[in-house]
Structure 1
Amino acid sequence: MANGLPGRLLQRRENPRRASFLELFFDLAFIFALSRLSQALLDDSSLNGGFRVLLMLAALWWVWFVTAWSADWFDPRTPLIVALLLWVMLGGLLMAAAVPTAFGRHALVFAIAYVAIHLGRAALLIPALRGHPLQLRTVRVAVWFAISGVLWVVGAAVAPAREVLWALALVMEFSLARLRWPFAGLGRSSWPDLQVNGTHLSERYQQVFIIALGELILMSGVTYSGSGLDRDSTVAFVLAFVTAVALARLYLVPAGARLGTSIEEAGPPGSKLALKAGYLHLVMIAGVLATSAGMEVSIANPGAREPARLVLSVTGPALFLTGRILLSALVDPRLPLARLIGVPLIILGGFASVNLPLVGTSGIVAGVLLLIVVLDALPGLWQPGRPARRTDG
């Protein structure tokens, strides 16, 4: 078995793992996807528009997430895994290209590309894993993706039910991963079956979060370049940069740097921690995406007073901080008091700035984030909490 195809495909758990060039190349599709999602949010900042963007983000994130786990289990240098990553990248680019009209005339493109990614992955891996116990795990996942795929395709074909069916498909997929993909007659995966390399996966999380911040900086720069470089737009652009720096620091310190160690120390049950961290990264990236859209509007129209766009500037950082606090709770028993205070401060700042121009709201948000960074660095503000909980079960 060790000399067969399955043995060559699989990573050795004890080997140190860094992200491969091909994995980083694959991430380029996610950069394009985030830029399309940001524009879609700007085009429709209503509650319904925001919900649609969230659905598309969750789908694209799930593609990235499942692929990151696959690359963690398998050697990305083998021709089969190279073909797999390129297949998923192509499908992700098709989904991203369809984002502006995914709830219109190109719904089938978005849905079929999504389903083809997951079923294509299974079609490559199942024959290659013949005779290996992990083949059954891949079969379980493939069966459930085939079932959810029906919801995706029917939702694309039936416009009135699209949002409901796509949301149901995503809830089902996210929940089944947490339940370890149980299926009648096939059982369910064990946590050792799903064990990941904590160092590698936490590095991949950091890389994709940097991509999200890169989208914020990129779109802010593009918007500023076309703004005429006047005084107010320059102030808004500087505030966008300050916000990006604050988000980066708040993400990395301290729990962001401890995630990989926590996963490794937990042993096989650490895969449950890694899965929860994946869900929380979706929350944080959604926050960065909303922040990016809010900053773009502020740079383009710094003197405007638009309550709907103001909500983006406030909701984004609050959403990021919420996800970040929950991530801290997973890997550190101490409570991040400064960040706990930061969420209501940002929300209150949003209410207080309702009559201010958008650049004023950006200033308040950036100021609160900087205040959290400063308070976070002061000794004594990380309060003792309960002992860390076990991650097995």
Structure 2
Amino acid sequence: MTGDRRRWGRGRAVGLLRSEQSEQQASYVELFFDLVMVFALNRLVAFAVQGAGSADATIRWASVGRVLLLFVPLIWTWTITAYITARFDPKASGTQSSILLTAFAMLVMGTALTGAFGGGGRGRVSANEILGLLAAFLTAVLLWRIYFHRAGVVLGDAVAAARDPAEVGRFAGSAHLVMILGIVATSVGHGIVQTHPTGQSYPPWLAMILGGPACFLLGRAALERAVFARVSPRRWVGIAVLLAAGVPLLPAPPLVAATAATAVLFGIAVADSRRAAGRPPEAPHPADGEATWLWRRHRPAT
């Protein structure tokens, strides 16, 4: 082990290696990558079903060969990523960046599967589709980042420390329902972006593209209240900006609206990181007695 570390020490990756005291349980970024892998495998199954349902035996066997050929790079990518997270600290920014870039490549691979071999698909992914995928991927990463920035990590501790754990747990549960609704609406919005990236946006489309992230932020604000008995002003600012952007973005293409929503989420994530930089992790302060949707100020927001 010591010699192995000296060998790695000759390169720049030594600071990313796992220490002997590091936790071995899966990190949140690893779970995020696994979700992308599930998506890619789901697309591979859909591709397989297209050929397997053919009445021509030649097409059926060709489909089996193609599926195996496409499965190899997917499983190889997953294997290499699993090795990276086992060898390097998944909490290090360099490791996380590598995993997220690999996840985006996996997302593109999964999307392009229907056009693989030029059969029955779109042939190739267009530039607008790539931009739409990038916006969707960045949105997913930012929603994940905003959720887990402290409140999502210490939720269990907050519930355990509350005078009435059931009350705080119920309120946190309702907050998650609102966030899930926002995630579903955001997913529908990005589905619209993939099929209609250009042209004019319609109010129902913007309700999904912009309203989805706003709904998520509302639920995330409620979760923050349950865990810390306060809500950061940047949550309200983000919601207000997303809702106010609806009118000026009506003549804009859906892809532009999705990019604007991603930019708002990025601003919130950056503000969260800057606020926490150089400070010790905030301890949970459950909203005992005030875990409700009535937004009375209990303690100063940060």
The normalised TM-score by structure 1 is 0.41
**Aligned partner of residue 350 in structure 1, secondary structure:** coil
Assess if the C-alpha contact under 8 Å between 2:155 and 2:227 holds in 1: yes
Q: Following the alignment from structure 2 to structure 1, what is the Cα–Cα distance between the partners of residues 287 and 206?
A: 38
Q: Pick from 325, 344, 369: which aligns with 2:240?
A: 344
Q: Following the alignment from structure 2 to structure 1, what is the Cα–Cα distance between the partners of residues 211 and 230?
A: 25
Partner of 2:139: 243
Superposition deviation, residue 260 in structure 1: 0.1
Superposition deviation, residue 329 in structure 1: 0.7
Q: Following the alignment from structure 1 to structure 2, what is the Cα–Cα distance between the partners of residues 224 and 360?
A: 26
One-letter amino acid of the counterpart of residue 348, structure 1: A
* Pairing of 1:365-376 with structure 2 (within 5 A): 365-376=261-272
Q: Deviation per CA, 1:205-249, whole angstroms, max 9, x where unpaired?
A: xxxxxxxxx9xx979954995664111111111010000000000
Superposition deviation, residue 345 in structure 1: 0.9
One-letter amino acid of the counterpart of residue 173, structure 2: G
The normalised TM-score by structure 2 is 0.52
Partner of 2:173: 278
Computed over aligned residues only, the root mean square deviation of the Cα atoms, in angstroms, reads 3.7
Q: Pick from 187, 190, 196: which aligns with 1:301?
A: 196
Assess if the C-alpha contact under 8 Å between 2:108 and 2:133 holds in 1: no
Partner of 2:211: 315
Partner of 1:390: 288
Q: Deviation per CA, 1:56-99, whole angstroms, max 9, x where unpaired?
A: xxxxxxxxxxxxxxxxxxxxxxxxxxxxxxxxxxxxxxxxxxxx
CA 1:285–1:220: 2 relative to 1, 3 Å? farther
Q: Following the alignment from structure 1 to structure 2, what is the Cα–Cα distance between the partners of residues 223 and 290?
A: 24
- Where does the alignment leave 5 or more consecutive residues of structure 1 unmatched? 1-17, 19-27, 36-213
Superposition deviation, residue 371 in structure 1: 0.8
Q: Following the alignment from structure 1 to structure 2, what is the Cα–Cα distance between the partners of residues 248 and 380?
A: 17
Identity of aligned residues (%): 28
Superposition deviation, residue 295 in structure 1: 0.3
**Aligned partner of residue 338 in structure 1, secondary structure:** helix
Assess if the C-alpha contact under 8 Å between 1:239 and 1:366 holds in 2: yes
**Aligned partner of residue 335 in structure 1, secondary structure:** coil
CA 1:223–1:355: 2 relative to 1, 3 Å? farther
Could you say which structure has the greater relative contact order, defined with CA pairs below 8 angstroms and 6 or more residues apart?
A: 2
Q: Following the alignment from structure 2 to structure 1, what is the Cα–Cα distance between the partners of residues 162 and 254?
A: 45
Assess if the C-alpha contact under 8 Å between 1:287 and 1:315 holds in 2: yes
Q: Following the alignment from structure 2 to structure 1, what is the Cα–Cα distance between the partners of residues 200 and 181?
A: 24
**In the alignment, is residue 357 of structure 1 matched against residue 247 of structure 2?**
no
**Aligned partner of residue 210 in structure 2, secondary structure:** helix
When you count helix as a share of all residues, which structure comes out higher? 1
- Where does the alignment leave 5 or more consecutive residues of structure 2 unmatched? 1-24, 26-34, 43-102, 115-120, 292-302
One-letter amino acid of the counterpart of residue 262, structure 2: A
